[in-house]
A and B are shown apart, each in its own frame.
Chain A
Amino acid sequence: MGVPGKDLVSLGPLSREDVEEILDLATEMKKIMQRPVKKVPVLRGKVIANLFFEPSTRTRTSFDLAAKYLGADTINFSASGSSISKGETLLDTVKNILAMGPDAIVMRHKSSGAPFFIAERVPVPVVNAGDGINEHPSQGLLNLFTIREYKGTLDGLKITIMGDISHSRVARSDILGLSKFDTEITLFGPRTVMFHDVSPYKVKIAKTLEEAVKDADALMMLRIQRERQAALLIPSIREYARFYGLSHRKLDMLKSDAIIMHPGPVNWEVELTQELVYGDRSVIFNQVTNGVAVRMAILYTLIGEGKYEEISSS
């Protein structure tokens, strides 16, 4: 399951202290991002390979910038136009890129477990940037970071995750991350996209939208994929929006300081309306900013060489 200490493929094996360390470091990284000159050379001379076997804009750009702010060079690889379309295997592709000497691999792949498979077969650190329906650890960490930023703590909070739970790598990483803290997690979504067996996690399942949202300190919305309709999981996007979205709802029942989160991209008028995304409760754009800071912290933790002082003092 990845090599402990070498990779970040899952939030599962991290301790609460490991997570807090990354979040604390991300706080420092965020300060760097706010400087006029957003560059600290702590990863100068390092090369990070961003291997995106599945399309991504936000995550790929975020990792790319995170590396660049720390002075590393990056190579960006995307599946289209690569040898993958010529039938080269995943392992072969990665081994070829590895032969060019990168210091870390950031990898997104549509198959659950693919970064775990690679991590066990390469000597350099592997960061999972999303594997199938399994995990998206950097997104999980940036979500934790954002909640902590607004609430001051992760303990004693009630967090609701709602939407297409079972196909969401974000939901899995959120649950694994939040479970290290004293949070009460509630899941809400159609039965067809809920985990068949939820027993591995300490979570509550809400039966109604009201029950899901009314006590929540943070609402973590998930994106519904349009393909779910063809797969018989939902009858229509319209029906999904009516029962499982926050669009066009009176949000009086929410706690006054509840925040709304979404990993993006939002399906407008389904999970959320533009008013909500751009509104007071939304922290969605801050999530994007925090994503860069958290990824800087992740990269530094995995391949930085004890030059932490430069970050906090320079």
Chain B
Amino acid sequence: MKKLAVVNGKIIDVEKGSILQKNLFIEDGKIVEVSEKEPDNSWEILDASDCYVAPGIFDMHVHLRDPGYEYKEDINTGLRAAVEGGVTRVAAMPNTNPVNDNISVTEYMIEKAEALFLAELYPIAAITMGQKGETLTEMGLLAEAGAVGFSDDGLPVENAEVMRRALEYASLFDKPIIAHEEDKNLSGDGVINEGRISTLMGLPGIPSTAEEAMIARDVLLAGYTGGKLHICHVSTKGSVEIIRWAKKRGIPVTAEAAIHHLTLTEEDLYKAGYNTNFKMNPPLRTEEDIDALYKGLADGTIDAIVTDHAPHSKSDKEVEFDKAPFGIIGLQTLLPLSLRLWKENILTLPELFKKLAYNPARILNIPGGSIKVGEPAYITVFNMEKYTFTEGMILSKSKNSPFIGWKLEGKKKFIIVKDKVL
């Protein structure tokens, strides 16, 4: 029986919205007590002085590139980066090679992750075979094997009929359809947000409507079918407004924002020149969009904060801007960049960890995410240490971060993943 006591920390209670100086007791990977009691010598003591003790961060949108693109990242390096970033659990997208559209890939990912004893990995399987948008995957079998949701990731389901059936079918297993919302015809050959900066940089633009039009379609389909829809990396003001409208109507929709969309705008891209570490999809948007995202976070329209951790090697990214793949890494910068939202009074700490830990578990319908007796123990302990983020700190195989050189505040001290202390 492994007995862990986290002492002297400030415990963030996301359900009550409070922060209390208490001790946390974990037995066999379960939270058994949260109190002022001092542990006796039967407990392994973990000192959390000057630290916050938060529900374990659950990043529900990462790409670990394994199987298939191990030169960019693999499950081992990705999960090490997660641990270093204070992330206890991740949900991994299916755009691997082969695509995670069958149980052997799902099982491979789970088994490989379990053998590593690092952060936990929850696979998201594809909606359609080969992410081709044509025929549905074996969602029941995939769910049994451990898939927590279904997504065609960066190749959004174009055919509305396929999306309708996916929402209906996934609802049989109580799994969400997780949608990267983009009308590929509208985004065309665009590489950055269409607007002021695309004019100035002479780069083809992606209109905000490419995202918004697809969200509008899919919330209507979710409302019609009753299937659970989770919307990935919401990046525009219009998207927030549509989702707010949908939630008011009782449509079963949830939404996430990627931390880079909450931190950077297209102006930062412009200042950085044609730096491909500022190229992601959806693209960096405007100040007005960020303000709308903040409001959406505060009023609950946006449920979760994620990384969309997308490793790409130097040889992938050190090319012409339009040739470079979309995406940046984020697992090791999620915590400090998220804490900026607290520092800037966008969210309280409990609200922040609702988005980072509690809601992702609810959206994916799995336990954990709250520091409460009876819950499985996923815990992130961090302090407000200040440091400069350097390339040398990055544990991912790929170093494609726009935040290298940034002065950050907030560092993981240790995490607990059930009975493991990492």
Contact = CB atoms under 8 A, between A and B. Distances in A.
Contact of A196 (B195, B315, B322): B195
Interface of B: 194-196, 198-205, 207, 273-274, 315, 318-323
B277 to A, nearest CB: 12
B421 to A, nearest CB: 44
A92 to B, nearest CB: 10
A61 B280 CA distance: 38
B273 A133 contact: no
B114 to A, nearest CB: 38
A169 interface: yes
A109 B203 CA distance: 13
Nearest to A169: B202
Interface string A179-212: 0000000000000000111111100000000000
Contacts of A132: 202-203, 322
Given A113-B273, A132-B202, A134-B201, 13 more contacts: A89-B319, A109-B320, A111-B321, A112-B201, A113-B201, A116-B274, A133-B204, A134-B203, A196-B194, A196-B195, A196-B198, A197-B195, A199-B196
Contacts of A134: 201-203
Contacts of B198: 196-197
Contact of A201 (B199, B204, B207, B318): B199
Contact of A111 (B205, B273, B318, B320): B320
Nearest to B205: A196
A117 interface: yes
A108 interface: no
Given A117-B274, A197-B195, A91 B202 contact: no
A131 B320 CA distance: 11
A109 to B, nearest CB: 7
B322 A112 contact: yes
Contacts of A199: 196, 199
A112 B202 CA distance: 6
B320 A196 contact: no
B285 to A, nearest CB: 13
Given A113-B273, A117-B274, A200 B200 contact: yes
Contact of B322 (A111, A116, A197): A111
Contacts of A97: none
B194 to A, nearest CB: 5
Contacts of B318: 89, 91
A133 B202 contact: yes
Contact of B199 (A117, A135, A195): A195
A120 B273 contact: yes
A201 B315 CA distance: 35
Contacts of B199: 166, 195-201
